[in-house]
C-alpha cells in the first residue's frame, strides 16, 4: 500500500513538472501558426453580414486611437516629452477593437492569409479576397461615420478639435511613397501582434499597448486608424478625393499589406513549413 502511494505521488510530481515545463516553454511556432490558421478558417466561414457589421464596428471604435491622441495633445503642456505621452492615446482604439474581437483589416493580413499559404487553391484565394474587400470597405464606412460625428456633432472641445485637425493633416500629408514605406513597419507590427497573442494569455493588454504605442511613436501609417483622420479632413472639406485616395489610402494600404502579408506572414510560414510538412 505504501509503495502504491509513493508511486502515485511520483506520478503526480512528474505530471506537475511536465505542466510547469510546458507552461515555461510556451507554444511552439508550429502551434502558434496552427492557432492562427484555425482562427483564420473561422473568420473565412463567417457570414458576410456578420463580417460587414463587425468591420463597421471596428472602423467606429478605432477612432478612439485618434481621439485619445488628440485629447492628450490638447491638454498636455508643450514639452519635449509630450510626443511620447500623447502617443499612448493611440493604443485605446486598438485595445477596444482587438479585445472586442472586431474585424480589423490589418489583422486579416496574417490571420486569413495563413489558410491560403497552407492550401493555395483558387477557392481559398477567393474567400480571402472576399473577406478583405468586405472588411476594408466596412472599416472605411465606420471611419467616415465616426469622423462625421466628430466633425459636426459638437462633441469635441475647441482644443481637441484643433489637435485632431493637426494630427489628421500630419497623418495624411506625407508624400505617397513615404506613406507606403511607413505603412510597412506598421503592417509588420500588427501581424507580429496577432502572432504573439496566442502565447500572451494574461498579458494581452500589455502586448497590444506595447506594439500599437510603437506604431505611433515610430510615426508609422495604419490604414484603418489613418482612414479616420482622412475621413475627418474629407468631411471638413480640407482633403480632396484624389489626394485622399491616391496620396494616402492606396499607398498606406499597399504598405500595410506588404508588411503584414508579404514580409511577416511569408517569413513565419518559411520557419514552420518544414515542421508542418512532417506532420
| Per-residue pLDDT in tens (0 to 9) along the chain, 279 residues | 555 555 455 444 444 444 433 443 467 777 888 888 888 888 888 899 999 999 999 999 999 999 999 999 999 999 999 999 999 999 999 999 999 999 999 888 788 888 888 888 888 888 889 999 999 999 999 999 999 999 999 999 999 999 999 999 999 999 999 999 999 999 999 999 988 888 888 889 999 999 999 999 999 999 999 999 999 999 999 999 999 999 999 999 999 999 998 888 888 877 777 766 555
Residues near 76 by beta carbon (within 8 Å), at least 6 away in sequence: 82, 85, 86
| 173: its cell numbers | 500629408
Sign of the CA dihedral running 227, 64, 210, 136: negative
CA distance 94 to 155: 21
| 197: its cell numbers | 497573442
pTM for this entry? 0.86
Residues near 266 by beta carbon (within 8 Å), at least 6 away in sequence: 117
CA distance 124 to 14: 44
CA distance 140 to 110: 20
| Phi, psi (degrees; rounded to nearest 5) at 126 | -65, -40
Exposure class string for 74-87: b at 16+ Cβ within 10 A, else e: beeeeeeeeeeebb
Q: Is it true that domain 31-278 has CATH number 3.90.1150.10?
A: no
Full DSSP string of 189-211: HHHHHHHHGGG-TT-HHHHHHHH
CA distance 62 to 106: 12
Amino acid at each position: 500500500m505504501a509503495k502504491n502511494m509513493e508511486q502515485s505521488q511520483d506520478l503526480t510530481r512528474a505530471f506537475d513538472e511536465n505542466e510547469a515545463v510546458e507552461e515555461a516553454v510556451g507554444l511552439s511556432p508550429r502551434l502558434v501558426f496552427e492557432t492562427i490558421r484555425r482562427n483564420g478558417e473561422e473568420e473565412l466561414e463567417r457570414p458576410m453580414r456578420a463580417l460587414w457589421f463587425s468591420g463597421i464596428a471596428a472602423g467606429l471604435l478605432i477612432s478612439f486611437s485618434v481621439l485619445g491622441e488628440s485629447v492628450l495633445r490638447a491638454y498636455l503642456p508643450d514639452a519635449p516629452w509630450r510626443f511620447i505621452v500623447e502617443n499612448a492615446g493611440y493604443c485605446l482604439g486598438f485595445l477596444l477593437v482587438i479585445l472586442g474581437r472586431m474585424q480589423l483589416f490589418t489583422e486579416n493580413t496574417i490571420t486569413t492569409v495563413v489558410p491560403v499559404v497552407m492550401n493555395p487553391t483558387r477557392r481559398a484565394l477567393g474567400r480571402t479576397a472576399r473577406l478583405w474587400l468586405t472588411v476594408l470597405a466596412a472599416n472605411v464606412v465606420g471611419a467616415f461615420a465616426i469622423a462625421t460625428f466628430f466633425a459636426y456633432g459638437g462633441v469635441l472641445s475647441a482644443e481637441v478639435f484643433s489637435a485632431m485637425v493637426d494630427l489628421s493633416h500630419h497623418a495624411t500629408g506625407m508624400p505617397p511613397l513615404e506613406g507606403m514605406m511607413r505603412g510597412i513597419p506598421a503592417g509588420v507590427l500588427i501581424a507580429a501582434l496577432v502572432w504573439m497573442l496566442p502565447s500572451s494569455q494574461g498579458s494581452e493588454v500589455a502586448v497590444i499597448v506595447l506594439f500599437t504605442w510603437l506604431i505611433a511613436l515610430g510615426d508609422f501609417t495604419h490604414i484603418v486608424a489613418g482612414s479616420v483622420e482622412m475621413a475627418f479632413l474629407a468631411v471638413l472639406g480640407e482633403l480632396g478625393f484624389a489626394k485622399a485616395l491616391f496620396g494616402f489610402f492606396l499607398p498606406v494600404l499597399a504598405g500595410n499589406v506588404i508588411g503584414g502579408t508579404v514580409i511577416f506572414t511569408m517569413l513565419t510560414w518559411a520557419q514552420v513549413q518544414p515542421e508542418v510538412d512532417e506532420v
